[in-house]
């Protein structure tokens, strides 16, 4: 291969890589992202579940975290507790009412950098037709290049608790805990 052609190819790859990094935009990878939840039943045992198929967009600017943003969305019907009967009940009007309120979403309004690899993310969580402002601490788990594509990857994780009664879900209180713990791991891929 002629030296000029090789140089042109290398410069082209470097330019494309720098544009991807400068863009700071990542799509959520639904296969490698996770939304888990935990609720206490009859004050005896914790019941665990997940929501499948998290989607969204992350805009990350390490030099100016205030310019960063997060938008996440998941279908309420995607609830999965490994028990079809319980899942159908959770989709019903007693709980998520997935027919009337098909989407659960989060949209950030402010992101502040904390010490180390932690951020404070403030935003609006919409669930069961109600939108509440929440503040969560998020850990930047890591960044890398995709081994085959060479495109940037990024990962974040957070654990926080909400009260389902704040979102109008009062069925079976207090037999089923009001507090629901959420663990969200987001895997972002540059397009």
User: What pLDDT does residue 2 have?
Assistant: 53
Where are the chain's structural domains? 24-189
User: What pLDDT does residue 19 have?
Assistant: 35
User: What pLDDT does residue 16 have?
Assistant: 40
The alpha carbon dihedral of 20, 25, 29, 33 has a sign of positive
Whether the Cβ atoms of residue 134 and residue 177 lie closer than 8 Å to each other: no
Task: Give the residue from 27, 6, 9, 7 showing the smallest Cα distance to 146.
Answer: 27
Task: Give the residue from 136, 180, 172 showing the smallest Cα distance to 36.
Answer: 180
User: What pLDDT does residue 181 have?
Assistant: 97
Task: Give the residue from 159, 157, 191, 162 showing the smallest Cα distance to 33.
Answer: 157
Bridge partner list, 55: 73
Q: What is the per-residue pLDDT across 29-80, written as a single tens digit (0 to 9) for each?
A: 999 999 999 999 999 999 999 999 999 999 998 888 889 999 999 999 999 9
Say how far apart CA 153 and CA 32 lie, in whole Å: 11
Bridge partner list, 127: 130
Q: Which CATH architecture has domain 24-189?
A: Beta Barrel (2.40)
User: What pLDDT does residue 63 have?
Assistant: 84
User: What pLDDT does residue 64 have?
Assistant: 87
SS3 156: strand
- Given a cut of 70, the residues of the chain with pLDDT beneath it are 1-23
């Amino acid at each position: 291969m002629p030296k000029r052609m090789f140089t042109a190819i290398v410069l082209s790859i470097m330019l494309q890589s720098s544009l991807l990094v400068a863009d700071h935009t990542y799509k959520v990878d639904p296969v490698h992202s996770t939304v888990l939840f935990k609720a206490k039943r009859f004050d005896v045992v914790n019941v665990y579940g997940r929501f499948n198929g998290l989607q969204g967009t992350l805009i990350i600017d390490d030099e100016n975290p205030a310019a960063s943003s997060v938008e996440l969305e998941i279908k309420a019907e995607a609830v999965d507790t490994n028990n079809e009967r319980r899942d159908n009940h959770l989709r019903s009007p007693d709980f998520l009412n997935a027919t009337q309120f098909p989407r659960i979403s989060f949209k950030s309004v402010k992101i502040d950098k904390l010490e180390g690899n932690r951020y404070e993310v403030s935003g609006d969580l919409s669930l069961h037709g109600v939108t509440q402002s929440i503040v969560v601490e998020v850990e930047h788990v890591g960044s890398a290049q995709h081994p085959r594509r060479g495109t940037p990857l990024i990962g974040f994780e957070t654990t926080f608790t909400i009260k389902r009664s704040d979102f109008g879900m009062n069925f079976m209180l207090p037999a089923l805990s009001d507090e629901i713990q959420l663990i969200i791991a987001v895997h972002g891929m540059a397009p």
